[in-house]
Amino acid sequence: MRSALPKVLHPLAGKPLLQHVVDEARALAPRNIIVVYGHGGQAVRRSIPGDGLQWVLQEPQLGTGHAVRQAAPLLDERVPTLVLYGDVPLISHATLARLAAAAGEDALALLTVELDDPSGYGRIVRQDGHIARIVEHRDANEAERAIREINTGILVAPTPALKRWLAALGNDNAQGEYYLTDIVSKAVEDGVRVASAQPGQVAETLGVNSKPQLAQLERLYQARIAERLMEEDGVRLADPARLDVRGELRCGRDVFIDVGCVFEGEVELGDGVEIGPYCVIRSARIAAGARVLPYTHIDGAVIGERARIGPFARLRPGTELGDETHVGNFVEMKNTRMRAGSKANHLAYIGDAAIGERVNIGAGTITCNYDGVNKYETIIDDDAFIGSDTQLVAPVRVGRGATLGAGTTLTRDAPEGRLTLSRARQVTVETWKRPVRKKTGAG
């Protein structure tokens, strides 16, 4: 991977590769989940949260069979064991359930797939249609390399037998490693049935060993999300290939998402919401009929029905906008509650504020909410009008229906229904002349 980050911690759709695999395993309601780790182990343990995980260190790292052998003392012999790989993130629990069903209680079941180009993969060798053994590509002869059915490495085994087979593994091969695949021939020797199952899609079995492969799987994953959004939720995507969901995106009916948008965390879009191009939306709830115009960033905000946001707006955590509110270009809001019908259309910073209904906030308005140590609240009551280039030095309150003249610096409460302004008197100096550059002599 050419990276200091352990491979299984590289992100796919916003979460580590290993987290995808653990989540799919959890969907099967297993007795326990054991993670065998090696390189960067402590970082891996810190990055994968949740109770119920057991961690086993593989040191030294002598192959897949050796890895599973480290976990053998923790395996529950009352149930079969499922072996997964932390760098194969697209595997689905539906495929795993099908594999477990093929194994039953007493068979060894392998997840296999046929590839047009099986180079590099272990081949499934069958006799009379039954799986007899697996041969690794580097150890295969010419006839075996012509086989297209390959082993994905994912398997389900009866646990007592698996422990026996692991203990008997040898490392007489080109790599000097203990191959997990060697348990297949041991199962055949023991008269244990060896079954197989296939994934819903070949992509489920793809692993990550390089940055190009990681990028390939990212697009496959995003394509899967895009298809679900269109088929199941009826979302209209301007271009399904230019969508990135790095969390959970829930959509109502008739939602439109333009190109280049990124959704992170848990995002909910109500009926008829329109998202313009190149927006980044994180952990937000946007109600029905709202429009988010291009290049808007929304993080931890709640937006009411038929609101209009952007373009180039930024809503930070704690922002709650009521129905039919407008937040325009180059407006930033943080920890602000703005009620229905209010608007801040241009070039403003509104932080730590409570804004009533039908308030107009002029261009260049700033709430001065921070004294270098503490934050303070600005309150603007219903129907107030805030003139352009106004500074509201919190804590301060603007009364209902009050008007602040343009250029005002408000340091005390403004009474309701009145005009308040703080400007120096305008003066024209009749005797003033523009200065001119002095002439200098030749030097």
Assign 423 a pLDDT band (cuts: 50, 70, 90).
confident
User: What is the per-residue pLDDT for 292?
Assistant: 98
Residue 443 has pLDDT above 60, yes or no: no
CB 37 within 8 A of CB 72: no
pLDDT in tens, 77-101: 999 999 999 999 999 999 999 999 9
User: Rounded CA gap, 297 and 281, in Å?
Assistant: 6
User: Rounded CA gap, 42 and 23, in Å?
Assistant: 20
Instruction: Tell if the pTM clears 0.95, that is, is over it.
Output: no
Choosing among 2.160.10.10, 3.40.50.11540, 3.40.50.2300, 3.40.50.970, the CATH entry for 211-420 is 2.160.10.10
User: What is the per-residue pLDDT for 236?
Assistant: 98
User: What is the per-residue pLDDT for 112?
Assistant: 97
User: Exactly one of 10, 93, 137, 346 is catalytic; which is it?
Assistant: 346
User: What is the per-residue pLDDT for 442?
Assistant: 63
Distance (Å) of CA 258 to CA 136, 300, 345: 46, 21, 22
pLDDT in tens, 20-46: 999 999 999 999 999 999 877 788 988
Task: Specify whether 346 is catalytic.
Answer: yes
Helix (H, G, I), strand (E, B) or coil at 232: helix
Q: What are the sequence ranges of the domains in the chain?
A: 7-205, 211-420
Percent over 90 (pLDDT), the chain: 88
User: Rounded CA gap, 66 and 353, in Å?
Assistant: 60
pLDDT in tens, 192-251: 999 999 999 999 999 999 999 999 999 999 999 999 999 999 999 999 999 999 999 999
> 241 CB contacts (<8 Å, ≥6 apart)?
219, 223, 226
User: What is the per-residue pLDDT for 174?
Assistant: 77
User: What is the per-residue pLDDT for 136?
Assistant: 87
Helix (H, G, I), strand (E, B) or coil at 208: coil
More confident residue, 47 or 403: 403
Interval 378-400 mean pLDDT:
98
DSSP string, 318-336: T-EE-TT-EEEEEEEEEEE
Interval 412-422 mean pLDDT:
97
User: Rounded CA gap, 17 and 86, in Å?
Assistant: 6
Specify the CATH architecture of the domain 7-205.
Answer: Alpha-Beta Complex (3.90)
User: Rounded CA gap, 256 and 260, in Å?
Assistant: 13
- DSSP assignment letter at 414: B
Residue 51 has pLDDT above 60, yes or no: yes
Half-sphere exposure of 305 (CA within 13 A, CB side): 3
Half-sphere exposure of 321 (CA within 13 A, CB side): 37
> 83 CB contacts (<8 Å, ≥6 apart)?
68, 153, 154, 155, 156, 157, 180
Fold match, 7-205 / 211-420:
no
